[in-house]
């Protein structure tokens, strides 16, 4: 009788210890910062016992054996990836996180109109890599869009503006691949594919990038696209300032404003000196700009200028355009009160 009582007592003690190891919170102190949080990186193919050992060694669970017991009871496939722990939690919660693949990622937001230089800086600011390494890859990985733009000088224009989430270990190639994949998804939804029309995809994206940089009002984008196409049809230079800025950025000589020397600078992106489209996009356009380039407005307009309210004024003749420019300058000198 005493023997069975002892066994029962031992069983109760073992059950209590197991329950404590499984259900009592354990781990880093609550409110751990990015720097002081604990990260556990589980490689693909790692077995449950090895994962349990990693977690115990990192101070995330009390007992590797208790974690392995959860595997036997709950089952399921534990997913690889990097996990971030910043507060005490029961082993059951830790197990559930790894079971559903709640891996740690860093958000990266790319606004419409960002160019590869802006994106590279955003990548570095987010702690996802070095700016120069991202830029080098953005210029070198044109194979990602060889079917869309065989002569592309970089991936500029095909890194779709969106919010992405990447692991801290993501390579520039992986990030660029995700952005190009998103571009392909959106462009396909818009009907922009290599076989969609006689107009090359590359020309549409270049036009969309110019539209993206020239106006902020979505309703005006088709009109601006129409102006550019009218100028191209007449052999007129597009004379768009954002392309001049981009030419300076490529040469590392942009000084925050356009100077007379920039307008004379010898670059295929200088649309004051060269007729036709520049050799590649000057930024990464969003949906509204892409739609405008795909379906531009049909008008007689050849010119446009911004007004004091941030909208554009369109003109069919140089005389009308000069009047619009004078009105804009007067508005700047005498703003409404």
Domain boundaries, the chain: 17-100, 107-189, 201-298, 300-337
Domain 300-337 has CATH 3.30.160.60: yes
At 82, give phi and psi (nearest 5°).
-95, 130
Quick one: average pLDDT of 277-296? 97
With contact defined as beta carbons under 8 Å apart, do 235 and 229 qualify? no
Is the pLDDT at 4 greater than 60? The verdict is no
Average pLDDT, the chain: 87
Q: Which of 165, 175, 202 is nearest to 119 (CA)?
A: 175
Q: What is the pLDDT of residue 31?
A: 61
Residues 6+ apart with CB under 8 A from 258: 241, 244, 245, 248
* Residue 325 binned pLDDT confidence (cut-offs 50, 70, 90): confident
Quick one: average pLDDT of 41-70? 89
With contact defined as beta carbons under 8 Å apart, do 159 and 186 qualify? no
Q: What is the pLDDT of residue 314?
A: 84
Quick count: other Cβ atoms within 10 Å of Cβ 100? Answer: 11
* Residue 24 binned pLDDT confidence (cut-offs 50, 70, 90): low
Q: What is the pLDDT of residue 234?
A: 95
Quick count: other Cβ atoms within 10 Å of Cβ 131? Answer: 15
Quick one: average pLDDT of 218-245? 95
Q: What is the pLDDT of residue 14?
A: 46
Residue 13 exposed, middle or buried by CB count within 10 Å (0-12, 13-18, 19+) = exposed
Quick one: average pLDDT of 157-168? 96
Place of tokens 């079917």: 147
Torsion angle of the four alpha carbons 61, 64, 70, 76, in this order, in degrees rounded to the nearest 10? 100
Which whole-number Å values give the CA distances from 28 to 22, 39, 60, 160, 206, in the listed order?
A: 16, 10, 7, 38, 50
Q: What is the pLDDT of residue 65?
A: 85
In terms of phi and psi (left: phi > 0; alpha: psi -120 to 50; beta: otherwise), the region of 254 is: beta
Q: What is the pLDDT of residue 275?
A: 92
What percentage of the chain carries pLDDT values higher than 70? 86
Is the pLDDT at 5 greater than 70? The verdict is no
Q: What is the pLDDT of residue 294?
A: 96
- Measured N-to-C along each axis, helices 221-233 and 201-214 cross at an angle, to the nearest 10 degrees, of 120
Q: Which of 50, 54, 28, 41 is nearest to 167 (CA)?
A: 41
* Residue 3 binned pLDDT confidence (cut-offs 50, 70, 90): low
Which whole-number Å values give the CA distances from 242 to 137, 213, 258, 269, 270, in the listed order?
A: 24, 6, 9, 9, 9
Radius of gyration in angstroms for the set of CA atoms belonging to the chain, rounded to a whole number: 29
Is the pLDDT at 259 greater than 80? The verdict is yes
* Residue 244 binned pLDDT confidence (cut-offs 50, 70, 90): very high
> Which CATH number does 17-100 carry?
3.30.1490.480
Q: Which of 286, 255, 109 is nearest to 187 (CA)?
A: 286
Q: What is the pLDDT of residue 13?
A: 45
Is the pLDDT at 330 greater than 90? The verdict is no
Quote the DSSP letter at residue 102.
-
* Residue 257 binned pLDDT confidence (cut-offs 50, 70, 90): confident
Is the pLDDT at 63 greater than 80? The verdict is yes
Is the pLDDT at 218 greater than 90? The verdict is yes
**Lowest-confidence segment of 146-150, 154-158, 170-174, 318-322 by average pLDDT:** 318-322
Is the pLDDT at 278 greater than 90? The verdict is yes
Residues facing 107 on adjacent strands = 165
Residue 334 exposed, middle or buried by CB count within 10 Å (0-12, 13-18, 19+) = exposed
CA atoms lying within 13 Å on the CB side of residue 218? 7
Q: Which of 154, 249, 255 is nearest to 206 (CA)?
A: 154
Is the pLDDT at 2 greater than 90? The verdict is no
80-107 confidence digits (pLDDT tens): 999 999 888 888 889 999 999 999 999 9
* Residue 17 binned pLDDT confidence (cut-offs 50, 70, 90): very low
Distance between CA 94 and CA 56 in Å, rounded? 11
Is the pLDDT at 263 greater than 60? The verdict is yes
């Amino acid at each position: 009788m005493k023997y069975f009582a002892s066994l029962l007592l031992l069983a109760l003690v073992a059950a209590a210890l197991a329950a404590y190891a499984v259900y009592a919170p354990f781990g880093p102190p609550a409110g751990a910062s990015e720097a002081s949080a604990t990260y556990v990186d589980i490689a693909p193919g790692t077995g449950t016992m090895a994962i349990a050992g990693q977690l115990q060694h990192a101070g995330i669970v009390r007992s590797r054996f208790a974690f392995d017991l959860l595997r036997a009871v709950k089952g399921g496939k534990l997913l690889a990836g990097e996990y971030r722990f910043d507060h005490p939690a029961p082993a059951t919660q830790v197990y559930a996180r790894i079971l559903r693949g709640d891996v740690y990622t860093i958000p990266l937001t790319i606004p419409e109109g960002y160019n590869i230089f802006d994106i590279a800086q955003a990548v570095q600011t987010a702690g996802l890599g070095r700016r120069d390494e991202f830029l080098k890859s953005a210029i070198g990985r044109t194979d990602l869009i060889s079917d869309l733009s065989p002569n592309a000088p970089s991936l500029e224009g095909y890194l779709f503006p969106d919010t992405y989430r990447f692991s801290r270990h993501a390579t520039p190639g992986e990030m660029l691949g995700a952005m190009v994949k998103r571009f392909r998804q959106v462009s396909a939804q818009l009907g922009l594919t290599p076989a969609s029309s006689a107009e090359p995809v590359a020309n549409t994206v270049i036009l969309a990038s110019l539209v993206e940089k020239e106006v902020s009002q979505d309703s005006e984008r088709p009109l601006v696209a129409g102006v550019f196409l009218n100028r191209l049809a007449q052999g007129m230079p597009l004379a768009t300032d954002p392309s001049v800025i981009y030419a300076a950025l490529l040469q590392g000589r942009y000084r925050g404003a356009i100077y007379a020397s920039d307008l004379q600078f010898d670059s295929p992106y200088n649309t004051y000196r060269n007729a036709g489209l520049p050799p590649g996009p000057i930024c990464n356009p969003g949906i509204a700009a892409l739609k405008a380039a795909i379906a531009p407005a049909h008008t007689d307009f050849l010119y446009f200028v911004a007004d004091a309210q941030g909208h554009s004024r369109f003109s069919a003749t140089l005389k009308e355009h000069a009047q619009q420019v004078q009105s804009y300058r007067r508005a700047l000198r005498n703003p409404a009160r």
